[in-house]
Chains A and B, each alone.
Chain A
């Protein structure tokens, strides 16, 4: 029984530690200002769940392709969508009007 329990318990403990780091980070000022630091432990937790509980590595080629494609389009959605609002103060947009 122990060989079956051990790997899952290890991942669960790692998730618990990351959760504690995330929570402690919120009270040490990580969450103020940009707050992006708080998303680092969350991103590692997502990877742990993906690799060990959703077993993405053991999935077939097509399933892995679907997972990667979803991440790619998510990056396009978040990245391309936020380029303008995030950089407008750095690179002001000149409004041109049709005559």
Chain B
């Protein structure tokens, strides 16, 4: 069964599977540096504008941010469960857990959209009509620049992840994966959990650091 998926350039199915997983890890290595530059911007600007950053962080919606964190942690767990079930050949449960994962991801994006709407209503968009004023407003604007860029980039990655899991769902329905061959499920799972990892770092940077005790 698994040999039917073997492409001509690989020695065997294991070689093909390892290459796919290595490729995803290489892609994620550059993604870590891509987001690393953003984390560096946060570190540097917060160092120079701590009061502005603290004031700006208090304007973020902690409730939505926290719910979204729980959703993403849960989605990584549901995906991991799906992967475990296909490893023993249970395609039905893989389908169900992937569907739940997509649903959780979609709710995450919907809540993020709602949060962005609220942020705009509070004029938390840097520029002429920024909602905060005073000596710390400059630092606060830098925080919100970070917020918009970081959450938008993370949102794009989430949308790509949802697209990938939907693509998997279509293939699972056609009976594509089995205990012997499920490399695409593993590859997409690594990507999905990576998007979760980025959020786990963004969450304290955006919502928690700067909250008064």
Chain A interface residues toward B at CB < 8 A: 4-5, 8-9, 11-12, 15-16, 19, 22-23, 25-32, 35, 38-39, 42, 45-46, 49-50, 52-55, 59-60, 62-64, 66-67, 69-71, 73-74, 77-78, 81-82, 85-86
Contact = CB atoms under 8 A, between A and B. Distances in A.
Main secondary structure of the interface of B (DSSP, over half): helix
B43 A77 contact: no
Interface stretch (B25-33, B106-114, B131-139, B141-149): B25-33
Nearest to A41: B204
Nearest to A7: B84
A17 to B, nearest CB: 11
B163 interface: no
Contacts of A77: 33, 36-37, 40
B80 to A, nearest CB: 5
Q: Is the interface of A mostly helix, strand, loop or mixed?
A: helix
Contacts of B196: 49, 53
Contact of B203 (A4, A11, A42, A85): A42
Ordered nearest first, which 5 A-B pairs have the shortest CB separation? Answer: A29-B213, A35-B209, A70-B29, A63-B25, A26-B208
Interface residues of B, number: 50
B48 interface: yes
B193 A66 contact: no
Given A38-B204, A52-B80, A69-B29, A19 B213 contact: no
Given A42-B203, A53-B76, A63-B21, A31 B209 contact: yes
A73 B211 contact: no
Given A19-B69, A38-B209, A4 B77 contact: no
